[in-house]
């Protein structure tokens, strides 16, 4: 039943309960939490501020209308992050919307793995180190292939003050989100441009190549949740017949572009890292790869150094 105050207006509690009930019908991951984010946005406040308010207080009519519009979009299976227009990622608050893949938790793990591998390389004075000879006195370079919203390259540069970065993507729409995020974060060490994987990059210039490439098997795409299938870009998802087609091309190009000792780091689907490590070993261009786990304990990607 709708929760009204004495004057007849809907209260915070009433709106949240109603919305959570509707969101349960579409199997939203956490209906109450989603309702809180949407109502906070409708009111123009942060969620913690909403939670600090008296839930029995009536909500202004203009905010109720706005909430109704946002909720309707979410009930039409638009992803929550597109409706909110923002997504937290690895300590950054990014903007996001149609045309760019929503950055995921497993990609935050990739960022952590890469940051610690590159920091370790710096302290160990490996070829990827921002130190030593005249050649290496330039800031080392990392390239994020298929940068989408710019999440990976911007998060890594935030964690690695001595580095510079490039984000490449084939999609104009994705790049426009990356450009907005670069401006929001205020990152001046990052170039963004349109390209097909690493084809427009000169040989032997990169100290790290990092990628979350499309890796969903083509046959699995029709079975994805409507939030993904109908709203996120297909070119961000489709990894071909076995999910590894972009990875195979990336290995060839990273072999050309990485300096000796440079790092290749790639996120993959849970059942792909072992086959990918075999492909990498067969190339003969990399030291043995090591895999990393996502938050659910599944193998989700690999890292390897160029010989
Ligand atoms: C899985 S999304 C990753 C987006 C972002 N890096 C992230 O982790 O949230 C893959 C990205 O690769 C881009 N992409 C796909 N094929 C590409 C290609 N051949 N060259 C460059 N970018 C490509 C897509 O447009 C998409 O933005």
Q: Is-contact 109 292, C-beta < 8 A?
A: yes
The pLDDT value given to residue 125: 56
What is the band of 104 on the pLDDT scale with cuts at 50, 70, 90? Answer: very high
Determine the length of the chain: 307
> Probe ligand 1: pick from 94, 156, 213, 238, max atoms within 8 Å of CB?
213
Q: For residue 7, is pLDDT > 60?
A: no
Q: How far is the CA of 198 from the centre of ligand 1 (A)?
A: 12
* List of E strands, the chain: 86-89, 92-95, 141-145, 164-169, 190-194, 206-211, 258-267, 290-293, 299-305
Q: How far is the CA of 267 from the centre of ligand 1 (A)?
A: 11
Query: Which helix (H) or strand (E) segment is 25 a member of?
Result: helix 12-25
Q: How far is the CA of 176 from the centre of ligand 1 (A)?
A: 13
Nearest CA to ligand 1 atom 6: 147
The pLDDT value given to residue 5: 55
The pLDDT value given to residue 135: 45
Ligand 1 pocket, CB under 6 A? 101, 103, 107, 146-149, 151-152, 168-171, 174, 196-197, 212-214, 235-236, 246
In sequence order, what are the beta bridge partners of 114? Answer: none
Q: For residue 230, is pLDDT > 80?
A: yes
Atom of ligand 1 nearest to the CA of 237: 1
Q: How far is the CA of 104 from the centre of ligand 1 (A)?
A: 13
The pLDDT value given to residue 1: 44
Nearest CA to ligand 1 atom 9: 103
Q: For residue 272, is pLDDT > 60?
A: yes
Q: Tens digits of per-residue pLDDT, 158-173?
A: 999 999 999 999 999 9
Q: What mean pLDDT value characterizes the chain?
A: 93
The pLDDT value given to residue 136: 46
Q: How far is the CA of 132 from the centre of ligand 1 (A)?
A: 34
Q: For residue 36, is pLDDT > 60?
A: yes
Is the pTM higher than 0.95? The answer reads: no
Please report, for the chain, the start and end positions of each structural domain, with discontinuous segments joined by +: 12-76, 87-305
Q: How far is the CA of 146 from the centre of ligand 1 (A)?
A: 3
Q: How far is the CA of 28 from the centre of ligand 1 (A)?
A: 26
Nearest CA to ligand 1 atom 2: 236
On whether the 12-76 domain is CATH 1.10.3470, my answer is no
Q: For residue 247, is pLDDT > 60?
A: yes
* Lookup result for tokens 């290496």: 136
Nearest CA to ligand 1 atom 13: 146
| Class in CATH terms, 87-305 | alpha beta
What is the band of 27 on the pLDDT scale with cuts at 50, 70, 90? Answer: confident
Nearest CA to ligand 1 atom 10: 236
């Amino acid at each position: 039943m709708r929760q009204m105050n004495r004057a007849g207006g809907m209260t915070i509690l009433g709106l949240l309960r109603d919305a959570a009930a509707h969101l349960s019908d579409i199997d939203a991951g956490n209906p109450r939490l989603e309702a809180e984010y949407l109502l906070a946005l409708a009111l123009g406040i942060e969620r913690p501020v909403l939670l600090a308010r008296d839930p029995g207080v009536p909500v202004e009519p203009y905010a109720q209308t706005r909430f109704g519009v946002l909720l309707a979009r979410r009930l039409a299976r638009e992803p929550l992050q597109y409706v909110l227009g923002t997504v937290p990622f690895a300590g950054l608050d990014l903007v996001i919307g149609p045309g760019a893949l929503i950055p995921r938790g497993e990609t935050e793990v990739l960022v952590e793995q890469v940051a610690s591998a590159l920091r370790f390389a710096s302290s160990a004075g490996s070829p990827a180190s921002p130190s030593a000879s005249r050649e290496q006195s330039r800031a080392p370079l990392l390239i994020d292939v298929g940068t989408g919203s710019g999440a990976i390259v911007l998060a890594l540069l935030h964690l690695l003050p001595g580095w510079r970065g490039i984000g490449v993507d084939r999609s104009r729409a994705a790049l426009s989100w990356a450009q907005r995020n670069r401006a929001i974060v205020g990152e001046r060490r990052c170039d963004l441009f349109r390209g097909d994987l690493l084809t427009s990059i000169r040989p032997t210039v990169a100290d790290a190549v990092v990628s979350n490439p499309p890796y969903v098997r083509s046959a699995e795409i029709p079975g994805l949740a409507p939030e993904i299938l109908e709203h996120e870009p297909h070119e961000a998802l489709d990894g071909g017949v076995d999910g590894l087609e972009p990875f195979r091309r990336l290995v060839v190009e990273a072999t050309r572009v990485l300096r000796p000792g440079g790092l290749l780091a790639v996120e993959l689907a849970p059942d792909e890292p072992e086959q990918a490590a075999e492909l990498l070993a067969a190339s003969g261009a990399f030291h043995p790869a090591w895999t990393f786990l996502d938050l659910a304990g599944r193998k989700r990607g690999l890292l390897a150094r160029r010989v």
